[in-house]
Every structure is written in C-alpha cells, then in structure tokens.
Structure 1
Amino acid sequence: MGFVNDISCCELTPEARSRLVKTPADVAGVVVKFKPKQFFVDIDRLEFVANNAIMSELGITPRLLYIDADCMINEYVPSRNYKIEEDLDPKTVKELARVLARIHSAKPPISSKTFKNWEKLFDEDSPMMKNPPMKNIIDKKYLDSLKEETEEIKAKYWDLLESIEYLESSRLTRELSKKVNSTFVFSHSDFNRGNRLVAKVKDPETGVEKKRIWIVDFDYSTINYRGIDFGRYFSNYRHEDDMFGDEGFPTDEEMALFLEEYRQECARIQGQFYLEANPLEMLIREAKIFAMQAYSDFFFCLMMYTNDPKGPRKDYFLEAAFNRYSGLQKLKKRFTEDGTIPYVLKQEKK
C-alpha cells in the first residue's frame, strides 16, 4: 500500500483471536504494518507510537492491538478507499469534516520537532535540496529521460515540463503558506484518499446501514499548519484520479460545505469562541493557499519518474507530474484573479 509502506493483511487463527481481542467473533483479521526507513524526514518513533495510540483511543483509526517503535497491528476493517462518490454525497463530506475537526482538536503530548524538520528539509541550502534526487528535479534531469520517450509522448509533455522552475514555484507557495497565518494543530499531514477508508456499518439503534470513515497512516502526523490537511483534501476534491489528478477545483460554495461543518464541529469541541475567531471566508482563503502547496507534489511525481524512467509505473508518474504542475498554474491564475493571492501577499506574518 502507498509508496513506502510494508503492510500485510492477515487472517487470525481462533487461538490468536482469543488472545488478542475480547470479542473474537467481531474481528475479521489484522493489518500488520512495519514502519519503513523514513522516506523524507526523521520522525520521532515515540511520537509515532503516541499518535497512533491516541487516534485509536479516539476511534478515528481502526482499533490498535499492538504497537512498538517498528511495528503496529490494527484490527482489519473491511473497507475501501474514499472515492469521488463520497465527495458527491453531502452527508459524507460533512462526516469527513467532523472527523478532521476531531483530529485537529486532539492534543497528543508531542513537540514541534518534526514540523521543524520538515521546514528545514525544503530550505534551499538544505542537504536534501543540494543533492539527488531533489537536485535532479531542480536541474531538470527528468528531461534527459523524456528525450528517450516517443515523439507522441514528447509532444504531449515536453513544453510544460521543460518550463518548470522548481525553486521559483517553491518560494511562492512557501511564502503564501506562511503569510496566510494558518493555525497550528495536530495535523494528519498526509490527508490523501488512500488514507481515508470507507466502511459500511449498521447503526446500532436503527439497524440502518450507513458509511463510516476511518483515517489511517498517522506516520507523518505532527504539529503543523491546519491548512496542510485542507489543501490536500481539496486538491483531490471530486477527482476520478486517486491522488495526482487535475480535474478541476471546487467553487467557494463547494468548499463551504466542508469547511462550515468543520468550523461547527471545532466549536462544539473547543467552544463557541472558535466561530468568531475562524470566519468561513478565512478558512476558504487558507484552504486555497494550501491547495497550491498540495499541487506542488508534482516534484514527487517527477522524482519517481526520474528514478525509474523505464519502470512499470513511469507512465503514471509522468502523467501525474504533468497534471499537477498544470493544475498548479491554473490555481495561481484563478487565485490571483479572485483576489486570494494579492490579499495574502499583503499580510504580515503573525
């Protein structure tokens, strides 16, 4: 599952069920996840344990049965990934908003160390930026691989991908993200569709079947900007593609459906002061800015393509890089014209 995870779904023997859980008949199996070597940032393993344990206790992630610094075992929940049909269902959109509000309102006993590590990674003078694979993206080494593609592929992708100036794009999105003054919260920090599961359950009172949303993969969760999760959510909103599409961006009215429900749930948990301190218009503006940052994942797609330009997924990542960079340019144009970017650039960082 994902790009770096080592996950196995296992059926339990009757003896194992009786030893692991109090109600063996209710457990379909377990999911065993081995924590990989960090793909980008060094994350405190004690925080990894704390975050996953607390999310299980809150009922946000499937029941945690075992965890240590290298491995965790969760109850297997028959489910599927969150899809476009969920975004088309207002009830499910509101349910997801309430779940995210609960995550952001949580107070795990963790530091801001991981956030600071993330920030340092993308400083222009950081070791990661000065060495491959990121240096290859900055220097456009992916064009060497693109030259070897068919004329049809080059005609489709070359002009746009050749125009990429990664550092210039990164400077703008980072400046905007800081100036929009997003609140720091406990953030999932990888709030993509693959980490949102949808299960069908029966309401214990009515017996009516309904959808339940589970959030998984809190490996990169930390104290972070609230907008990180907003941006990732809206960057895939009503897209057929799982994560790297460019199929349009929601209207302000569509964004309001999710963000107003989020506000109301935060107010219910934290207090009514939240509504006055966080007007809907502010959250919409914040989500737009962080959606641009989410679309900047074109660099990851280019990196995956450059690392294996003849591999089985090279066409997927080439298309994904094209989609995301193209989408980013459209967002820059739209948010300039609607006044979002000019407004944010005038703000002084608090």
Structure 2
Amino acid sequence: MPAAFDPVEIPLGASEEETKTLITALCTRVLPGWAEVNLEELTLTPITGGISNLLVKVTPTQHAGLQPVAVKVFGNKTELLIDRQKELQQLHKLNSCGFGAEVVGEFANGRIEAFLTAKTLKPEEMSHPKFVPRIAALLRKLHSVPTDGKPVLWPTIMEWFEMAKALEFEDLSKQAKFAGIDFASQEREILELKAICDRVPTEVVFSHNDLLSGNILIVREPDTPEENSEGTMQFIDYEYSDCGYRGFDLGNHFNEYAGFECDYSRYPDTAAQWTFFRHYLSADKPPEVSAPTEDELSRLEAETNVFALASHVYWGVWSLIQARYSPIDFDYLEYSGTRWAEYFRRKPEFVAKAKHVFGIE
C-alpha cells in the first residue's frame, strides 16, 4: 500500500514553533491512527548527524500502539542534486529487500519514515573490530541488490560541476572565497581521474554513495540501553544511492572514517583495508570457499583507493552548491577546499598504485 501524500510544504526558515505546528499537523493528517491525537500530545526531538536536511523525531506520548516517526524536510534546492522521485522509487525497492526505514508518508518537500530506535555509529567506531565485519557483510548484501542502467558517478559530477561554475553568492565574503577557485584546473583533474578510473576493473553495483557513520545504525529494542551494539545493523539515507561502482562505495566509506572534522589520519591502512575486504568478499560465500588471495586483496585495495579520490571530487563539488543554497550552519566552502586538499595529498600514491596494479600507462 503506497504511503499517503500531503501537499503541505514545510519551510526550512520557519520559526521553531511554526515548524512544530506544521509537522505535528502533518502527522495527524497523513499517518493511520493519528487523526485523533491532540497536537499537544506529540513530542518533537531534533535528529542530528547530517548536513543537508532537517530531521525530526515525532513521538506520540499518550497513545498506545502508535510508534514514533522520523520526519525529513529536504534541504533548500537539494532537488538540484537529487532526483526525489527516483529516490522514492528506490526506497520502496530497498524496503522490499530489507534495507532502510519504511516510508510511511510523503509531503511536498519531504517524507515521513518509521523511526528506528537505534545507536548511531560515530566516525571512530566504523573501524572498530566488532563493527567492521558487520558493515562489510551488509555492504556486500546491498551491492547485490539488482540495479538497472549505467553508473551515474561521472555524469553526476560533471552536471554538478557545470552548475557550480555558474554560482553567484550574495554574501560578499563567500563570493570572494568562491572567486579564488580554479575551475579550469579542477576540470582537468576530474577528466584525468575519470580516464584512470575508467580503466580500473570494478564491479557495477547498487551503490549507497554516502555511507558515513550517521547512516549506519544498530537497531535495538526501545527498552535496551542506548549504547547496546548487539542489535541488527541497518543502513539508512539513500538520497545519493544509484547504479555505481563498487570501488567508489568502498573508497567513499573509508573516507568517511574521517568524520565531518576531516581527520584523514583515520583513513585505513593496507592491513585494515584487507581485513574489511576479507569480510566483504566472503560475506556471500559458503564456508568451504577459499579465502581471498593476496592478489585479489591488493587489486581491490588499488581499486578502492583510486575511487576514494573520486569521492573527494564528488563531495568537493557538491559542497559548492550547498554553500550557495543551504541554510544549515556549516562552512561548505571550507569543506570543499578540505576535500580537494586531501585529494591532492593522496593522489600521487593512489594513482601510482592503480597504474602499477592494473597496467595503466
């Protein structure tokens, strides 16, 4: 049964009180069984962890049988970056495969999902031995979800790049910082990297594309401790998911070990990557199948690391568009510069390894 739709639009710039009124009224109109709930009986709690959208947990306090929900209000102009109709179709497909929170309602600039009572991983926890095997196995399962068409990574980067070049900022300090970006140089880097990645043998998969710590949950029962790590692992937030490259999803995930503070000293070394890869490659294999060879692991490392450079480019360009349109208090221009700086820092090593391993001239 498709989720109910309401035409209301919730402005991101509204006051806290107006936002609460709009969200609670929306829930009582759209969600089954909520029509008789008094608005005063609903508790709103902000959900933190992202830098694009407004996320709010709505809890009915007095009505047995009604479960809390998560209301997501899409960020300003994020439709420039995300095909929302395609995203919704993919969410329904993923729900049927056991991924993501169930979509229970939709509105003009957002949707309502079942709230998952869960522990959200922290960036430093993604590399922990108790989580690495589970993340690797679940990512392998996600990569097995059927996908149609061709990978969209490079067309997306180029579309965003053309959009970014044409931006203008009302904020004079932002405009001055933006004016210092050498777009001609960045375009050369993008085309050079694409030419290398195009020669790297990587699997085409259904790719999450944004597997940061805040999108990895350990779902728990409501009455269990918040830090319980024994529940079912779940990935959420498939806004950027699409047909893509295995290497990009792996490299992007490893980049996210750094967190939003961009501590790239956390990027996994060879030993840590190989541990992850062993769990990833063995996840859908019977026990009697031989473990991955060192050659397989070395090739996957080279593939992952060169696509990690593409991840820096992807989010570096994305950040420029967010800098122009997002009302969220985050220095997107600084973040873009940081991603490009890390790209240039790791490029010589990662490109040289890929060329050596795959015989690229």
Structure-1-length-normalised TM-score: 0.70
* Alignment CA distance shift 1:146-1:48 (3 Å): closer
1:93 aligns with 2:132: yes
Q: For 1:331 and 1:31, how far apart are their aligned partners in 2?
A: 38
1:3 positional shift = 4.0
1:39 aligns with 2:79: yes
Aligned residues of 1:134 and 1:303 also touching (Cα < 8 A) = no
1:328 aligns with 2:354: no
Aligned Cα root-mean-square deviation (Å): 4.0
Cα deviation code 1:165-213 (max 9, x no counterpart): 21011112222222112111111122223322345569x9xxx862543
Tell me the residue number matched to 1:182: 202
Tell me the residue number matched to 1:300: 318
Q: For 1:72 and 1:54, how far apart are their aligned partners in 2?
A: 16
Tell me the residue number matched to 2:285: 267
* Alignment CA distance shift 1:223-1:336 (3 Å): closer
Structure 1 segment 109-188 matched on structure 2, within 5 A: 111-112=148-149, 115-116=151-152, 119-123=154-158, 129-130=161-162, 132-136=163-167, 145-146=176-177, 165-188=185-208
- Residue type of the partner of 1:216? I
3-state SS, counterpart of residue 319 of structure 2? helix
* Alignment CA distance shift 1:145-1:262 (3 Å): same
Cα deviation code 1:278-302 (max 9, x no counterpart): 9222221111111111112223334
Cα deviation code 1:205-236 (max 9, x no counterpart): xxx86254321112332221112210111112
* Alignment CA distance shift 1:136-1:68 (3 Å): closer
Q: Which runs of 5+ in 2 are unaligned?
A: 1-47
3-state SS, counterpart of residue 267 of structure 1? coil
Q: For 1:312 and 1:234, how far apart are their aligned partners in 2?
A: 25
Cα deviation code 1:109-131 (max 9, x no counterpart): x5327x44x543444xx6x544x
Q: For 1:209 and 1:181, how far apart are their aligned partners in 2?
A: 36
1:91 positional shift = 1.6
1:313 positional shift = 3.9
Tell me the residue number matched to 1:258: 276
Structure 1 segment 204-215 matched on structure 2, within 5 A: 210=230, 212-215=232-235
- Residue type of the partner of 2:55? I
* Alignment CA distance shift 1:214-1:164 (3 Å): farther
1:163 positional shift = 9.8
Q: For 2:178 and 2:91, how far apart are their aligned partners in 1?
A: 44
Match of 2:59 among 2, 11, 14: 11
Tell me the residue number matched to 1:346: 360
Q: For 1:3 and 1:94, how far apart are their aligned partners in 2?
A: 27
1:275 positional shift = 5.5
* Alignment CA distance shift 1:226-1:53 (3 Å): same
Structure 1 segment 18-33 matched on structure 2, within 5 A: 18=65, 27=67, 29-33=68-72
- Residue type of the partner of 2:186? Y
* Alignment CA distance shift 1:65-1:122 (3 Å): closer
* Alignment CA distance shift 1:41-1:317 (3 Å): closer
1:66 aligns with 2:83: no
Q: Which moved more, 1:32-41 or 1:288-297?
A: 32-41
1:147 positional shift = 9.4
Structure-2-length-normalised TM-score: 0.68
Aligned residues of 1:292 and 1:332 also touching (Cα < 8 A) = yes
3-state SS, counterpart of residue 326 of structure 1? helix
1:268 positional shift = 4.7
Tell me the residue number matched to 1:103: 142
* Alignment CA distance shift 1:242-1:59 (3 Å): farther
Tell me the residue number matched to 1:228: 248
Tell me the residue number matched to 1:194: 214
Q: Tell me the percent identity.
A: 18
Aligned residues of 1:199 and 1:213 also touching (Cα < 8 A) = yes
